[in-house]
Amino acid sequence: MKHLILPFLAIGLLFMTGCQRTVSVTPGLVDGKLRPCPDTYSCVCTQDPVERHRLEPLHYTGAQEETREKLLMVVRHMAQSTLVKADPDYIHAEFRSAFFEFVDDVEFLFDDASKLIHFRSASRTGYYDFNVNRKRMEEIRKRFMGPG
């Protein structure tokens, strides 16, 4: 019986240790770009120089204002999302996990000249997030690129 409990205890301790580490950086732009990710596995960013954090930005073809409204609708309709700031070129939202209520900051930056939306999604705490931020951004991409 003890040999069955030890693996679960070890996993639980590992999970809780990772969640206690604070890595939060105030969201916002630095020199007109999204901040790079911290040295954790709980962040993705289209402008990050480190390959493991990087994802492709969202592409769009229409007017920036219409595209912005579509993106805002996608974010507003996602579970546990709260819109924090919505400027013409920059959007900041928070997503809370359902059980522990951990907060992830999600930011979008419009580059209308290139017709790209850069984004960053990062956990405020924890070293590893089981790819929650990556999966969230892939879901946002899917919803954004879908019909309507």
17-to-14, 33, 41, 103, 126 alpha-carbon distances in Å: 5, 31, 14, 17, 8
Domain CATH code at residue 39:
3.30.310.80
Residue 119 CB partners (closer than 8 Å, separation 6+): 34, 44, 45, 46, 55, 57, 58, 106, 107, 108, 109, 137, 140
Distance CA 101, CA 65 (A): 32
Q: Structural domain tally of the chain?
A: 1
- Residues 84-141: pLDDT tens digits? 999 999 999 999 998 888 999 999 999 999 999 999 999 999 998 999 999 999 999 9
Range of the domain at 19: 2-145
Model's pTM, two decimal places?
0.83
3-state secondary structure of 102: coil
Q: Is 2 exposed, middle or buried (0-12, 13-18, 19+ CB in 10 A)?
A: exposed
pLDDT tens-digit series, residues 45-90: 999 999 999 999 999 999 999 999 999 999 999 999 999 999 999 9
